[in-house]
């Protein structure tokens, strides 16, 4: 039985488990869960994860005072903008 897919899917969690010991609060655990969720969703949508985080961290601060959150639609991993600006470094096989 080949477990490659399962091994690859949990690799980021197993690599990070040593860091989980320093998460001493519920807020820290929630923040870690959000970051891992964003990273895994980016990977699932064939994005360059680094470029995606770079886009999020440059665009979101521009909207801190916005009451209308519709700008978030353009920052979702499956949006045309993100797919165009953050393509994966590896071609999907």
pLDDT digits 0-9 by tens, 38-91: 998 998 899 999 999 999 999 999 999 989 999 999 999 999 999 999 999 886
pTM of the full structure: 0.73
Q: What φ, ψ does residue 46 adopt, rounded to 5°? A: 55, 45
For residue 70, the model assigns a pLDDT of: 92
Measure the CA–CA gap between 1 and 14, rounded to whole angstroms. Answer: 21
Is the pLDDT score of 19 beyond 70? Answer: no
- Identify any residues that bridge with 87 across adjacent strands, giving them in sequence order: 47
Is the pLDDT score of 24 beyond 80? Answer: no
Measure the CA–CA gap between 65 and 61, rounded to whole angstroms. Answer: 9
Measure the CA–CA gap between 36 and 2, rounded to whole angstroms. Answer: 25
Per-residue confidence band for 23, with pLDDT thresholds at 50, 70 and 90:
low
Per-residue confidence band for 17, with pLDDT thresholds at 50, 70 and 90:
low
For residue 73, the model assigns a pLDDT of: 95
For residue 56, the model assigns a pLDDT of: 96
């Amino acid at each position: 039985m080949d477990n490659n897919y399962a091994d690859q899917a949990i690799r980021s969690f197993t690599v990070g488990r040593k860091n989980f010991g320093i998460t001493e609060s519920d807020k820290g655990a929630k923040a870690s869960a959000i970051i891992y969720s964003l990273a895994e969703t980016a990977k699932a949508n064939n994005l360059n994860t680094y470029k995606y985080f770079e886009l999020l961290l440059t665009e979101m601060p521009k909207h801190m005072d916005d009451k209308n959150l519709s700008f978030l639609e353009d920052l979702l991993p499956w949006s045309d903008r993100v797919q165009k600006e953050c393509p994966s470094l590896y071609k999907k096989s």
